Amino acid sequence: MTLQRCLYQVSKQLISQRFILQSSVRQVLCKISYKYSSNTEKKFSDRHEWVLVDKENIGTVGISKYAQESLGDVVFAQLPDPGMQLNAGDECGALESVKAASEIYSPVSGTVTEKNKEVEKKPGLINSSYYDKGWLFKLKLSKPEQLNNLMNEKQYEEFLQTDVEKDHT
Amino acid sequence: MICRNIIRSKILARIQVRCYSDVGSSKKTPLYNLHEKYGGKLVDFAGFLLPVQYSDMTVSASHLFTRNSGSIFDVSHMLQTSVSGKDCIPWFESICPVDLQGMSDGSSSLTVFLNQKGGIIDDLIVTRVSEKQLYIVSNAGRLDVDKSHMIETSEMYRKKNKDISIDFFDVTQRGLIAVQGPKAVQNIQRLTDTPLENLYFMTSRLGSVAGVDCRITRCGYTGEDGVEISIPAEKTERVTEALLLSDDIKLAGLGARDSLRLEAGLCLYGNDIDEGVTPVEANLTWLIAKRRRGEANFPGAEIILRQIKEGVTKRRVGVRMETGAPARKGALLKSLNGEVIGNVTSGCPSPSLGGNVAMGYILEQFKKVSTEINVNIRNKDSPCKVAKMPFVPSKYYVKK
């Protein structure tokens, strides 16, 4: 009996340790992957937003080249205010061109830390500098692992090709 | 929510150039190949493949180019109809409040098909070619409705041994282009012997353009001077290419057409007018010709004449916003007290003026120009004012 109980205890410990180890290894790997890959490249959503995350876990969000081309001259930008809590996929603002209105969706979850006041004053920056000065807002990511659900630039290019083809058949 | 869905469907249909209606079944206009050649971004519009814009210019740039120089719009999707017979004028006057009897041969007029309640079935341009012939251009979106309306009403006339025959031109038979802008007419004049200096606004005549027999009508949908040219389908491309040889003239798409007509205060059927509103409510009372008011024999005459005399509860007005987000179709208009007093039927940013322009229906007591109101966009009230239309002064070539 005693031996049995002892064996049971040991095996339970081992199992839980393995779990702890596994999860911590996973965490470390995750962190490494953000530090050395994710945060150096833009990630794209299927709704044509991009997000670029820095070492402090702050993501900068904008719209893709394709999106700004489709929209045409942006004449008005309504951006989310700092402090706003967003879930991935939440509608958080809108861009208006002569042609139409287009909602902005957050590609990741987090809390808005800053909006681009320059873009509010000069919405044309979204067309002229879509990957740089035309960013829309920044947010502190609450679920950085969501970045894995987004596409890198190459995948996004492929997505556009198939998506556009789909639209024309 | 409905508004949001409309906006979203607009994005999908217009921005991402997605066409949920089956593009495969969309009809091609005689300029289809030309659109492809010049980089037209084609979408399905009322069952026809038409360009929203071309790759050389953004919608705003194309809009401004039209106002400053000249643009060609493919409007071949519109229904062109020829009516002949000695009773064509009495028949047409039985379905529209226009005074064709009082018009001279070769003159044109905007008018409306009315239902028995005075609602607008469609708006159209009718030309009195002669006492025995009419030429009509009506909306593609109402093609089937217009056709059956004309067939059914003329059928009743024919049963009384009246002489009317109707020919609908299919898109495979005739093309139609609108050439609009301050430099439009001078560029057409180079290609035709027909003197255009005495072709005034809302007059029409036959003439050869670039060696092709056409009908030239001085009218348009932009507020600018210009013409619409009806051309045999197989020669539409030739005439268009001849015009495009000039640097003054470029192709423009549906995007610019919409913002231009809005600045000009012109209605888009299905948005700003429909069967649920009368010409009086739509601020188009001037379409009820004086003679016809006296005769009171057009459809819905009783209701319309009463509205003219006693007034209406809502009216189509212009709405101007100097800054902020543009109000689109469906946006609610509110009084400064916060009560809902109307809704926007179409709106967009104004490339010519900056800020935004819109039109919509508002309760009669708020219709006065400069009345301060709010418009609700994405759950935010933004200040705006009731404004005079056209927003941009019209440049029609009117006889002085």
Q: Known binder of ligand: residue B228?
A: yes
Structure tokens at B58: 């953004």
Residue in B with minimal Cα distance to A72: B58
Cβ partners under 8 Å of residue B66, min gap 6:
B180, B181, B222, B224, B252, B256, B260
User: What is residue A37's three-state secondary structure?
Assistant: coil
| Residue B141: HSE in the Cβ half-sphere, 13 Å Cα cutoff | 12
pLDDT band at A27 (very low <50, low <70, confident <90, very high): low
- Tell me what pLDDT residue B13 has: 37
Give the H or E element holding residue B175.
Answer: strand B174-180
- Tell me what pLDDT residue B115 has: 98
The alpha-helical segments, DSSP class H, found in chain A are 2-36, 65-71, 117-121, 125-128, 153-167
Q: Which CATH number describes the domain made up of B27-77+172-264?
A: 3.30.1360.120
Judged by CB atoms closer than 8 Å, whether chains meet at A168 and B255 is answered as no
- Is any Cβ of chain B less than 8 angstroms from the Cβ of A74? no
Say which of A70, A75, A101 has its CB closest to residue B328: A101
Across the range A2-9, mean pLDDT stands at 55
Say which of A70, A78, A98 has its CB closest to residue B378: A78
pLDDT tens across B224-241, in order?
999 999 999 999 999 999
CB-CB contact of B358 with B321 (8 Å): yes
**Residue B137's closest CA among B256, B220, B197?**
B220
**Residue B248's closest CA among B176, B192, B194, B182?**
B182
B344 phi, psi to nearest 5 deg: -85, 140
- Is any Cβ of chain B less than 8 angstroms from the Cβ of A106? no
Does the pLDDT value for residue A29 go beyond 70?
Answer: no
- Tell me what pLDDT residue B185 has: 98
* Bridge partners (DSSP) listed for residue B83: B134, B166
The domain segmentation of chain A, as residue ranges, is 43-166
CB-CB contact of A134 with A120 (8 Å): no
- Tell me what pLDDT residue B25 has: 85
Please tell me the distance from the alpha carbon of residue B15 to that of residue B8, in angstroms, as a whole number.
Answer: 10
Structure tokens at B174: 């005739």
Which superfamily, per CATH, for B313-387? Aminomethyltransferase beta-barrel domains (2.40.30.110)
Interface of B with A (CB under 8 A): 7-8, 10-11, 14-19, 23, 52-53, 58-61, 63, 255, 259, 324-326, 328, 348-349, 351, 378
Cβ partners under 8 Å of residue B74, min gap 6:
B29, B31, B34, B35, B50, B51, B175, B176, B177, B240, B251
Which superfamily, per CATH, for B79-169? Aminomethyltransferase beta-barrel domains (3.30.70.1400)
Say which of A70, A72, A94 has its CB closest to residue B325: A94
CB-CB contact of B355 with B323 (8 Å): yes
User: CATH class for domain A43-166?
Assistant: mainly beta
pLDDT tens across B4-27, in order?
333 333 443 333 333 334 557 899
- Tell me what pLDDT residue A10 has: 52
- Tell me what pLDDT residue A13 has: 58
- How many other CB atoms are found less than 10 A from the CB of residue A163? 15
Please tell me the distance from the alpha carbon of residue B13 to that of residue B1, in angstroms, as a whole number.
Answer: 18
Q: Is the full-model pTM beyond 0.90?
A: no
Low-confidence ranges of chain B (pLDDT < 70): 1-23
